Structure 1
Amino acid sequence: MKKPSDPTSTGYDIGDLLGLSSQSARKSYYPALQERLEELEQERNRYKWLFENALHGIFQANLRGGFLACNPAMARICGYDNPEQLQKKVIRLREQLFCSAAEFDQLRQELLDHGSLSARETRLRRADQTPVYVALTMLRRPDLGPEVVETFVADITERVQARQKLEQLNAELEKRVEERTEALQNVNVDLRYQIEEREKVEQELKVAVNAAKEANRSKDKYLAAASHDLLQPLNAARLMISALQDSQLPEAENRMVHQVHRALEGAEDLLADLLDISKLDQQAMKPDLTCLNLAAMLKGLGEEFEAVATNAGLQFRLRVPPVSLRTDPRMLARIVRNLLSNAFRYTREGGVMLSVRQRRDRLAIEIWDTGVGIEAHKLQDIFTEFHQLLPQGTGGRQGVGLGLAIVERMVRVLGYGIRVTSRPGRGSRFEVSIPLEHRVNEAWRSQSPAGGATHGNFDGLAVLVVDNEPAVLESMAALLEGWGCEVFPADGESSALDMLSEGLVPDVILADFHLDNNATGCEAVYAVRRALDHDVPAAIITADRSDEVRTLLRAQYLPILNKPVKPNRLRALLASLAAPST
């Protein structure tokens, strides 16, 4: 039994601290304790390695004194050989490490207030007493002492030097800018004079531009007048000549009438071409897209040119499969008509073929001829206005070189393409390429604007003709009466209504668009229909070729025929209007 005075009875060894009250217990816990101690030793060695090999400086210090610990990188930053030398030489951070005691005091107060600071730029004193620029990230450790801190130090000397160099360059640049500014201010005196002169020139240019715009407006007004006032008498003359051609005349007079007809036809085509080329150049002609039965339109054109082929002793073949497009019928008909006219004009023997073929990615309208052909280096020039590249005397009436220029511009407006291949002495092929996205699936059966001539008679067909030009009324009456129609001419809406009160019930109404006193043919048509309480078939015949008028008439479902009127087109229009009642 142990005595109370035995030293072992009152003290505690390591086993008691760890709860190991016996030798056997110590033996059982010893392996785990040894393993934990080894892990702690490995961890300590790892942190020690990181501490000693870190690229940035790391130190622990007391703000009231000096370093408690530092790594080799910190010694290198401060210009010392090793950490021990740094700790030995610097025993007061405020006076020996920091270049500015005021900055140190500010940092110390901030650490005491907030406990940490991050990336604070300052200067430290190296061993040779030169400053080194650093960025400090500091953390206060009150658990180790009231003013113990741990700090990461990054050497930013290169960055500061680069910044200083940039500031120097900026200063030099500002100086140069000031010098240049002074030079520019000296030049401004001369520039002000030049600017004043330029403003005078610009003002003169504005006056010139306004004058040009006014000239364009005057030209537009002239073209509008030409499209109506000049075409009106031409229309009357064409109708009268057509009536004479249908009558029985001696051979000499008949030849003279035919020559006058060709002269009027040439004047009409020239004037129409000039109007169209002007509108296309001013981008005033916009496509009016609608669904079109292409086959019906091309067959109508084929009938129109069949007579031309017969008179010229040429063959004319048409190969058109059923197909429908979304396009501008008037512009597409004008394109094909111009190409056919060009083919017949320069073909003396052989023939012309109009065909439609579907390529892989497009629909191709092709016009083939066996004419004189075109030399390869002139193929692009033929689309320039007023160019006559083919020799005179190559058959047919010579044009003025606008037909193909109109074709090229209309093709471009519609978003199509055109190609031409030719061999001199063998013939030419013109191809209008239409992208397949313009094709529609429905088999449209709409009436083509280029409808063909109808060779039947109109015996007894009552036609009410409304026009404010007496010459047009007279010539229209002569032509229609020659076809067997019974014509009732009226110079306006009131005259037409007076005829209705006398018992007239017309089968067809043909009305000019522009009447006297700003009245329109549409108003006259509607007045007649209201008076009869019946939708009498009607069409508008006008010299106004503007898109506004065409859009208006399309919205009112009234067919349109442009002056000067070609007899075969008028016959086709009259046949389509009279069809429901004949």
Structure 2
Amino acid sequence: MSIIDPSDTVERQNEKLLQIAQSLMRRVEEKHDQSGLAYQQFERAAMLETQVRQRTQELERTLDLLQESNAQLEQANVATERARSNITEAIETINEGFALFDPDERLVLFNSRFCRDIADITDHLTEGMHFSDYVTLVSRSQHLALSKGETARDWATRRLARHSSDHVVFNVRLMWNRWLQISEHRTARGGTVILQTDVTDIMRLERQQRDRMLDQQAKILQATLDHLNQGVCIFDHHKKLVGWNKTMNGLLSLPPQRSVQGLTFSKLLSMLKSDLTFEGSFGHDSLENWANLRDRRQPIAFEITRNKVQTLSVFAQEMPDRGFVISFTDVTAERETARALSDMNETLERRVSQRTQALGEALAEAKRANASKSRFVAAASHDLLQPLSAAKLFMSSLSDQLDDAGAAVTLGKAENALQSVENIIAALLDISRLDAGKAVFDIRNVPLSAILKPLRDELTPVAAAKGLELTIMDCDLRVVSDPGYLRRILQNLIGNAIRYTQTGKVLVGVRRNGGSARVEVWDTGPGIAAHNRKTIFQEFARLDATSTNDGLGLGLAIVERAAKGLGHDLSLWSEVGQGSCFSINLKIAPPTDTPSHRRSDIQPSWEDALSGLIVMLVENDEQLANAMALMIENHGAEVLLAHSAQDAIDLLSEIQLTPDVMLLDYQLGSDADGVALLDDIRMHHGPVPAAIISADRSKGLQQDCTIRGLHLLAKPIDKEKLLGFLATVSEACT
């Protein structure tokens, strides 16, 4: 139990404590207790006095702080009131209506211009009003102009929906054609600021400008329509005529003074029904049904005849506002011209049919005659070749029995004459077969070297006998052709070049021409004039009849027919006095016939290239490592396989062997990579060729490999690239 009442003032408590202390002192003086009890009480009283003094000081400091806080609070209240006054004065200077709602949607502050144009609600605006109550108040105002069919609740719902946005600007229409622009913005603390601006003058000015622009556009549109040579009429979404041009008046005979503005489409169509005749299945009812469609109308086009004289092409199309436009084009002249052309075409078709029939009969007769000629030539050639062969044998036997040199020379000339006759008959037989379409071509892949080399050996002596230089360039290309006919074509072209060239040289070469090979035969002969370049391909055609050469006039005829049958393009360049060039274009054969052949060709080459090559493969993925090792060993190389960097180092240390090449996975685990392993191995075994295998396609790894001279193989591994790299290393080792 306390001897001091806490409810007493500090002064009263001090007074009581002093009285207690004095009383205790008196008792000490009055009593002399030998046990020391009085002294203990005195000591306790002194301690109490010290505590009282400390508490008194603390209370005094607390009072000072309280007085200081009250003074600061009073100053803050004055500053707050001054700031509020300044804010109120500031928003009053704003020309727009201003209002602030706090984060709880309560009205905090607004100026006198806020809702001034909605006078019947200004007296109801109070601080603390909820935003929804404010919207409801505005929606029920008599000054608010609602849209047709819109209720106050609808307007309030639409207004609250806009309130959900952080920033929104919209216009509100008031009575007497007045407008307010509402700008609503969310503050950083979640409150809402509303600005109201009277934009009536701006809206009226914009409407006036828009009306002027619409009037000007209407004038431009009318001038444009009048400028068209088509009749155009425009109907609105009520199907009433709202625009047309002068051409329409002329086409449909609508007098200019007659007012047709506002006529419905049905009324106008009825007025013109007696003058118009529809062509085909599309009629009057079809057009009216199209105009009355409630769904979207598809464009239509049709023709009508006016007064059975004028033909009009009509096109109708719907506009975005559900109105539609109809255009009329006078096509009378075009239709009359078309009818005249149709009559003329019928006449020409009859004539062409008659001429075609006559030409067909003549062509059939020519074919029969040509077939008869070919059969005759074939039969005659076959019958003549046998006795000629017998005569040649007899003369050959006779030449062995003659001792007279003059008779031997005469006999040799007779044999040459018989050989010439045999060549002529063989050429005629070839031409007859080609003309009759009975030539059988053996199309296959032909090495050009197999054609050109024998011809060089055969014709070089002939050219040398005339003092000419014959050069046939080697070529390793394979082409698609018939080897027998191709040899005959080139033999005739080269032989003709030698035959008609008196001095100089003959050059044969092959040029690549895209996917084909062009064999060219150049000579320094007399050249061929332009008007003779078709004649030379005819049978028995020889430009120089007085020439002493032994040309038969059939070689180029055979060349032209054989090239045509094989599908080879034959061309000629020539300059009189400079020489000529005959060329034939041949399709290059693919490298191999089938994929199986290609694999069989490649397999031995890899085995030969990789045979004996020692490859160290370091790959931590065992399945991938085993697959790569098996593939490499199947192509002739030996593989040293390791699954980690330490395994690779231990293996090389154990076998004391340096591999020819190393394939290193870039990521060999959490604490090792292929590049670091290669640096370690090269430090002990020298600059071993190597490639890094990695799925990492970053530029950093590529640059690192380039700097170190490493080949980078991307995962998944490309077999051909891997084997190609190993083959390159193997070739360098040898």
What is the TM-score when the length of structure 2 is the normalising length? 0.34
Structure exhibiting the larger radius of gyration computed from Cα positions = 2
What is the TM-score when the length of structure 1 is the normalising length? 0.42
